[in-house]
Amino acid sequence: MNVTFDIPAKLLDKIEILLERVPYLSESILGIAYCKDKHVVELLLNDTEMTSEQLNDLRESYQDLCSSLENTRVINERVVKSNLVPDSYKNWEDNENYPEYSCIMDEYDIMLMEYLDKEFTEIATKHGAEQREYPSVLSKHNMTRNQYHIHFPQNIYGVTSVPHEYKAINNFRKKAQIESYDESFVFQGEILQPCICYHCYEELQGKTLFDGKVLTGKGKCFRHEIEWRKDNFRRSEFTMREIVYIGIEESVVDTRNQIMEDVWSLFESLGLKGRISTATDPFFFSQDLKTKGTYQMMSNAKYELLVTTSNGKEVSIASFNYCQNMLCSKYEIKGRDEAALHSGCVAFGIDRWKEALKDLHGRDSKKWPGKDVGRAMLL
């Protein structure tokens, strides 16, 4: 079943912002396509799940979404580095397909991931980072501080459990035998980590730092991606390394920029093509997009490294962030003058780097140009 919605004239210059949010209107959506000539968006719906009442709700939700985005300010991105020829990358395309992907990594994938993480760790160490390993779960206390779930509810996975009570355990067993145990789980506010950095802030919570601090950690991260949008680059479970730097404003900005230079050098040495440009976080609500998103673009607070794949698709594989004193204020991390320090982070999507290399060079590392990755993987 296909449904077509007109795109309001006020949103024609905000089409990417709109199309990024349309898939979240309903779980019944199986795909979308944008018709540039007719200025409409076509939704592929699940016939077996969509009732007439739900269809009306979908129309209302679409109208509400459009209304909420009308006054959103569009600020053009600024490209700061590129090794692309003009017009070699593209943005949203009609009927973009997301191929099936594999959740399993073989020995080659694992070795390539380890090689890449070694490169990222060397960059972190160069800038004085101390290594850390954290749990995969963020506590309710931590979530209250960072408020990730408030700004990005579409991404979170909550952790539930069976209460340690005799009756509850027995009741769960009985219901599990007939596969009706969903209501037996209890949610206590814990979230599977969508990123690593909040653990770093929690570690330093309430502390006074007389010198800057740089931490780096790697771990599995989890984001609730739309099923039909998943592919080898976009996953719900992925491995991320982050470098978190905390200190005075000038030092934090300099560290961010120096790491960005180092990462770009690595990117080019691997033969990858792409660009670094200003960006915003994927805020779901229009009010956040209008305030926080606009600020990020205007202040150069966030940059993304976008790799261009063999079919012309752009994928973000790293981000370089400056958070001012916002997060240090939330976690009460102070400097000598008792004022909240500034901070930032660099994040590497290791799975995406791996897929970008395989997409460009294939699985035979002996044929790869630039760095001798194949040899390095065997050392």
Span 275-292, pLDDT tens digits: 999 988 766 666 665 556
Span 291-329, pLDDT tens digits: 565 556 656 789 999 999 999 999 999 999 999 999 999
pLDDT recorded at residue 93: 43
Span 140-187, pLDDT tens digits: 999 999 999 998 999 999 999 999 999 999 999 999 999 888 888 999
Cβ within 8 Å of residue 204, ≥6 positions away: 213, 246, 331, 333
pLDDT recorded at residue 96: 46
Span 255-281, pLDDT tens digits: 999 999 999 999 999 999 999 999 887
Q: Which residue has the tokens 């994928």?
A: 315
Q: What is the rounded average pLDDT for all residues in the chain?
A: 89
In the numeric block, which tokens belong to residue 136?
């995969």
pLDDT recorded at residue 97: 46
Residue ranges and CATH numbers for the domains of the chain are 2-69 (3.30.70), 79-136+194-378 (3.30.930.10)
98 pLDDT more than 50: no
Greatest pairwise CA separation for the chain in angstroms: 66
- Is the CB of residue 31 less than 8 Å from the CB of residue 44? yes
Flag whether the pTM goes above 0.85: yes
Span 194-205, pLDDT tens digits: 999 999 999 999
Reduced 3-state DSSP string for the chain: CEEEEECCHHHHHHHHHHHHHHHHHCCCEEEEEEECCCCEEEEEECCCCCCHHHHHHHHHHHHHHHHHHCCCCCCCCCEEEECCCCCCCCCCCCCCCCCCCCCCCCHHHHHHHHHHHHHHHHHHHHCCCEEECCCCEECHHHHHHHCHHHHCHHHCCEEEECCCCHHHHHHHHHHHHCCCCHHHCEEEEEEECCCCHHHHHHHCCCCECCCCEEEEEEEEEECCCCHHHCCCCCCCEEEEEEEEEEECHHHHHHHHHHHHHHHHHHHHHCCCCEEEEECCCCCCCHHHHHHHHHHHHHHCCEEEEEEECCCCCEEEEEEEEECCCHHHHHCCCECCCCCECEEEEEEEEHHHHHHHHHHHHCCCHHHCCCCCHHHHHHC
